Amino acid sequence: MRYEREQEIARQLDHPGVQRLIETGYSETVNAETGRRAPYTVLEWVDGGLLREHLYDGKPLQVEEAVRIAVQLCEALAYCHAKGIVHRDLKPDNVMVTRDGQATLMDFGAALLEGARKITTASLSAALGTPDYMSPEQVQGQRGDARSDVYALGVMLYEMLAGQPPYRGDTALAVMAQHVQSRPAPLRSRNRRVPAALEAVVAKAMRRDPARRYQDMAALAHDLAHLDDVDPARLDAEALEERVAPAARGLSGRTLAAAVTAAVVLLGLGIALGTRLAW
């Protein structure tokens, strides 16, 4: 079912920043065990390499290059979101960069199609995304929306500029918990070449509360393309409001952390035991 959903989504997409579907069909030979012909998919050839390959050495990209790639991905994702498609598994492994520098989005296996019925799965990656880039709401078991892609793109941009993801841990569950209850090191503490305005934009994209992030890719792309107009002090003040919000609701940091950790552990146990989750 997930394979068919991915094909259904791919047929709707025709954008220079998204890998195109060329053809689908079934093999001529029949599987002797199942009595069925195997399905196949032909995708557009992208002449380039994975964005991940640019990050293997742990060195940051040039600021201009990172911003250019992020803006291109914003444009591709805005196109997808306008069609009711949320990627939900953004990561450097799902982005190709062509020889002429065009970022191309791939792999819609975990994508959410607006209005489509839910699919059940026991796979962490297929259902939720990849721990290093998962939004807090996905970690907490929600399906996510366009703002979840905003968060993941913010994490990717942080990694492009810092040379490493914002959160690290010995296990996937440890990383997942950090997305919900921790804050990354300030970007400029890892790369002093990052302008203060860009640091503030990345931080806003990565806010834990979806309502306090950029609400769509167009708004994120605008600020990335007009950093001279961004007021870091204003964005920092907004971030401070989010930081004190749990205390204002009467939740201590220890209580909040314990609750989140328990939820993440239970989610992980469910996945490990093969529990079927509805998405």
Question: Would you call 170 a catalytic residue per the annotation?
Answer: no
Alpha carbon distance 66, 227 (integer Å): 13
CA distance 30 to 85: 34
Question: Which of 14, 47, 57, 89 does the annotation list as catalytic?
Answer: 89
Which sign, positive or negative, has the C-alpha torsion 278, 20, 62, 238?
negative
Q: What is the pLDDT of residues 61-87, one digit of tens each?
A: 999 999 999 999 999 999 999 999 999
- Measured CA to CA, the distance from residue 264 to residue 110 in angstroms comes to 20
The encoded tokens of residue 117 equal 């019925």
Per residue in 38-62, pLDDT tens? Answer: 777 788 888 999 999 989 888 999 9
Threshold 0.85, pTM exceeds: no
CATH number of 47-278: 1.10.510.10
For the chain, the domains span 47-278
Query: Per-residue pLDDT for 149 more than 60?
Result: yes
